[in-house]
Amino acid sequence: VAASFRYASPMLGIGRLHLAADLFVRLHNLDNQVGALGGDSGLRGYPSSAFFGAHELQLHAEYRTQGLELLTNLFGLAVFWDAGDAFDDLEFGDLAVKNSVGIGLRWLIPQFNRSVIRLDWGFPLQSSRPFPGSVSLAFEQAF
């Protein structure tokens, strides 16, 4: 069972606020499949696949600036907050939401592709070592 929410605000100053929430529940998980969170799969401040569980909850808020055109390329910035967890107990007994915050750079080459290239630097908030955080490079927006 999956439930998702997405929202993009009208222009707020020089950019837009983007919100997202995802809940993924594996009912009757006979194959014992698990999901992973961390890095580019949500929770951008944590290492890739830092958290595993049968069920996943993710929350995202990101403010993305409007693209600035330089030599036909578009560049933008983003600040973000991610929260979520991968957990096994369907009654949410072992749900321990982790948070991360960070900044990102967006680059679009319209002549090459319509997918944004993103570089994000996130910092975990529930960690004894939040610095230097985690850097991820990927195609397309995080959500």
Q: Give the tens place of pLDDT for each residue, 32-77.
A: 899 999 988 889 999 999 999 999 999 999 999 999 999 999 999 9
Residues 6+ apart with CB under 8 A from 101: 45, 79, 80, 81, 82, 122, 123, 125
Six-digit token string for 31:
């194959």
pTM of the model: 0.90
CA 5/CA 19 separation, integer angstroms: 8
Q: Give the tens place of pLDDT for each residue, 61-70.
A: 999 999 999 9
